[in-house]
Amino acid sequence: MDKIKLATIWLGGCSGCHMSFLDLDEWLFDLAAQVDLVFSPIADIKTYPEGVDICLVEGSIANEDNLELVRQARARTKVLISFGDCAVTANVPAMRNPLGSAKPVLERCYLELGDVQTQIPHEPGIVPPLLDRVRPVHELVPVDAYLPGCPPPADRIRTFLEMALRGEPLHLKGREMLKFG
């Protein structure tokens, strides 16, 4: 039997969910025996491949690159999973949303608080433009399951992935599996 193709992507987040994923320690060997990691920030693969079975999406959708990557991932993945609070609720990155749009955020960061050569970055094709609103993943592409937590503890990720690998329904219950924050 072919191995399951697993991908993880990192959008607008702190990479804490990926750090928590690496906290799985020696269980990662067991996981590696069952899956092929075909795309991930912890593997040097440049393009998101076709025919991915499971994808964990860390982070909210905060800029145009995030949006493009998540749309690509959705189109090429069977089971797309919102991985961590930023993906599920938009969380901390979305704390800029009440300011209304990207402009006041950029002005505050790069002009008002800038030290020398204050300017708003503008490099089309290199620096992705911010979206006006940071959004959770499921508001922009359909999501199959949700794994909340900031970050989800390693044990929760393991239990969840084991359920996913067995093909069980991915509905979480109880404080150990479901808590936000």
Partner 1 sequence: MSVRTLRINGIDVAVESGTSILAAAKQAGITIPTLCHLDGVSDVGACRLCLVEIQGSNKLLPACVTEVAEGMDIQTETPKLQEYRRMTVELLFSEGNHVCAVCVANGNCELQDMAIAVGMDHTRFPYRFPDRDLDVSHPQFGIDHNRCIFCTRCMRVCDEIEGAHVWDVAQRGAAVRMITGLNQPWGEVEACTSCGKCVEACPTGAIFRQGSTVAEMQRDRSTLEFLVTAREKKEWTR
Question: Which residues of the chain form contacts with partner 1 (CB under 8 A)?
Answer: 82, 85, 88-92, 94-95, 97-100, 133, 135-136, 138-139, 143, 145-148, 150, 171-175, 178-181
d(CA 13, CA 25) in angstroms, rounded, equals 22
Could you tell me which residues are beta bridge partners of residue 10? 58
Nearer to partner 1, 39 or 93 (CB): 93
Choose among 111, 104, 150: nearest CA to 130.
104
Closest separation between CB of residue 98 and partner 1, Å? 4
Nearer to partner 1, 98 or 124 (CB): 98
Whether 93 and 86 have beta carbons less than 8 Å apart is answered as yes
What pairing do the DSSP bridges indicate for beta strands 4-10 and 52-58?
Answer: parallel
d(CA 60, CA 139) in angstroms, rounded, equals 10
Closest separation between CB of residue 145 and partner 1, Å? 8
Nearer to partner 1, 37 or 153 (CB): 153
Nearer to partner 1, 124 or 174 (CB): 174
Q: What is the dihedral of CA 85, 70, 167, 14, to 10 degrees?
A: -30
Closest separation between CB of residue 57 and partner 1, Å? 12
Closest separation between CB of residue 13 and partner 1, Å? 11
